[in-house]
């Protein structure tokens, strides 16, 4: 991996990340392909709207079809027909959010599969092995992600255990064509974040992530601490804000010095008839769109906007046709990626602050 910063404006950074399967221009949004697919879209559709890197998940793929099967099939890139970079989450968040029964200690996590109830063990070493079988470009260390309302003692214990697990992940890592990113925890406690980051930075990982956000805290509370949290991470290495979020959250993240983002919101909202636009969110099931001949967004070059009206999309959702979720998911991913492209261009031109304020003003004027 090679990472370089090309322009800065305040804390915001314009960079480039070179990985085994290609070049990623930052800041960047990563569409989520949890189970080796970006829901409802072919890899070619995802490529066509400009996705440079996608995210898949260790937990889900280890359960089904199994990481060894994917390795037998030539790795995740070949298995899912995606030839660009992939980042894999360690599965820690899914264990804590999906597993009905779990027992956690310093050794790892024992949990019951949400699919068939099978008892499984996930240790730092196992999380590394799964991701090495998958063959992703970036592998995340196993961490403990407490909820936003966790007690101070619970947060501190999660930080201690995440540091312990990160070192074990680093020791277990063997693939030279895959890099590991560490994950800081600590909730909204900036002091605890600093303690966690200091321990992880001393281990000299190639990249670092801020985990434990968007887990129940308000957006305003997250925005307030993001700049200081980003400052705890090495400026010469890529910074990744996990699982966040809304378009306005991404711009706040960029202004705070974050380089990489992922979230299920574009596709989840697309499946539920909601489109992101520069003028705000559109709810395509609403009757106001029944006779509307406009595209979702006239300035959007995606296949959906270039070919179909809001009236047609309204019809698809009212008729429960599967094409509706497909088209809206495609548009929403295109929207997020174009937002990142706009931010990169603004940084290159030294006008990111203006770009940020203009976008916020447009969104707020239509809410």
Say what the pLDDT of residue 366 is: 78
Residue partners of 143: CB distance under 8 A and separation at least 6? 90, 92, 158, 162, 165, 166, 183, 185, 211
Question: Final residue of a domain: which of 263, 290, 307?
Answer: 263
Give me the mean pLDDT over the 205-220 stretch.
Answer: 95
Q: Let me know: does 212 contact 187? Beta carbons within 8 Å.
A: yes
Asked if residue 95 has pLDDT above 90, the reply is no
- Rg (C-alpha) for the chain, rounded Å, is 20
Question: CA-CA distance, 103 to 121, in Å (whole number)?
Answer: 9
Say what the pLDDT of residue 17 is: 98
Residues 345 and 243 in one domain: no
Residues 86 and 49 in one domain: yes
Residues 27 and 104 in one domain: yes
| CATH number, residue 19 | 3.20.20.105
Q: At which residue do the structure tokens 């037998």 appear?
A: 72
Residues 240 and 302 in one domain: no
Question: CA-CA distance, 222 to 216, in Å (whole number)?
Answer: 10
Question: Final residue of a domain: which of 246, 263, 280?
Answer: 263
Strand, coil or helix: 129 = helix
Residues 60 and 169 in one domain: yes
Number of domains in the chain: 2
Residues 294 and 324 in one domain: yes
Residue 82's CB: how many other CB atoms inside 10 A?
23
Q: At which residue do the structure tokens 């929207």 appear?
A: 335
Per the structure, the complete domain to which residue 13 belongs is given by 2-263
Residues 163 and 26 in one domain: yes
Residues 79 and 175 in one domain: yes
Residues 201 and 312 in one domain: no
Question: CA-CA distance, 91 to 84, in Å (whole number)?
Answer: 21
Question: CA-CA distance, 114 to 21, in Å (whole number)?
Answer: 32
State both tokens at 89. Answer: 């989450």
Give me the mean pLDDT over the 211-240 stretch.
Answer: 97
Say what the pLDDT of residue 99 is: 57
Question: CA-CA distance, 219 to 238, in Å (whole number)?
Answer: 23
Residues 248 and 280 in one domain: no
Residues 275 and 248 in one domain: no
Residues with catalytic roles = 89, 262
Say what the pLDDT of residue 114 is: 83
Residues 226 and 340 in one domain: no
**Using 50, 70 and 90 to split pLDDT, how confident is the model at 113?**
confident
Asked if residue 92 has pLDDT above 90, the reply is no
Question: Final residue of a domain: which of 216, 248, 263?
Answer: 263
């Amino acid at each position: 991996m090679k990472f370089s910063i090309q322009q800065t404006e305040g804390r915001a950074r314009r960079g480039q990340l070179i990985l085994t399967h290609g070049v990623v221009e930052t800041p960047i949004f990563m569409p989520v392909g949890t189970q080796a697919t970006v829901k409802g879209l072919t890899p070619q559709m995802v490529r066509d709207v400009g996705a440079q890197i996608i995210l898949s998940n260790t937990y889900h793929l280890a359960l089904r079809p199994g990481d060894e099967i994917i390795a037998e099939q030539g790795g995740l890139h070949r298995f899912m027909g995606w030839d660009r970079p992939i980042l894999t989450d360690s599965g820690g968040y899914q264990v804590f959010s999906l597993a009905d029964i779990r027992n956690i200690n310093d050794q790892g996590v024992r949990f019951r599969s949400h699919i068939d109830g099978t008892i499984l063990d996930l240790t730092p070493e196992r999380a590394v092995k799964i991701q090495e079988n998958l063959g992703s470009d970036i592998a995340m260390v196993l961490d403990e992600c407490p909820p936003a309302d966790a007690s101070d003692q619970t947060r501190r214990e999660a930080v201690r255990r995440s540091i312990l697990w990160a070192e074990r992940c680093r020791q277990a890592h063997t693939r030279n064509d895959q890099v590991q990113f560490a994950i800081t925890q600590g909730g909204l406690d900036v002091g605890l974040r600093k303690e966690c980051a200091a321990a992880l930075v001393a281990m000299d990982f190639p990249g670092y992530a801020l985990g434990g956000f968007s887990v129940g805290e308000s957006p305003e509370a997250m925005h307030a601490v993001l700049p200081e949290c980003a400052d705890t991470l090495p400026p010469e290495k890529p910074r990744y804000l996990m699982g966040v979020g809304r378009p306005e959250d991404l711009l706040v993240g960029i202004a705070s010095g974050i380089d990489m983002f992922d979230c299920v919101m574009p596709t989840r909202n697309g499946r539920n008839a909601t489109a992101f636009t520069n003028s705000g969110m559109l709810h395509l099931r609403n009757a106001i769109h029944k006779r509307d001949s406009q595209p979702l967004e006239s300035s959007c070059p995606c296949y959906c906007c270039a070919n179909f009206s809001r009236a047609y999309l309204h019809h698809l959702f009212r008729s429960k046709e599967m094409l509706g979720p497909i088209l809206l998911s495609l548009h929403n991913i295109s929207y997020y990626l174009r937002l990142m492209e706009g931010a990169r261009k603004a940084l290159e031109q030294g006008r990111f602050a203006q770009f940020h304020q203009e976008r916020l003003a447009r969104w707020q004027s239509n809410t």
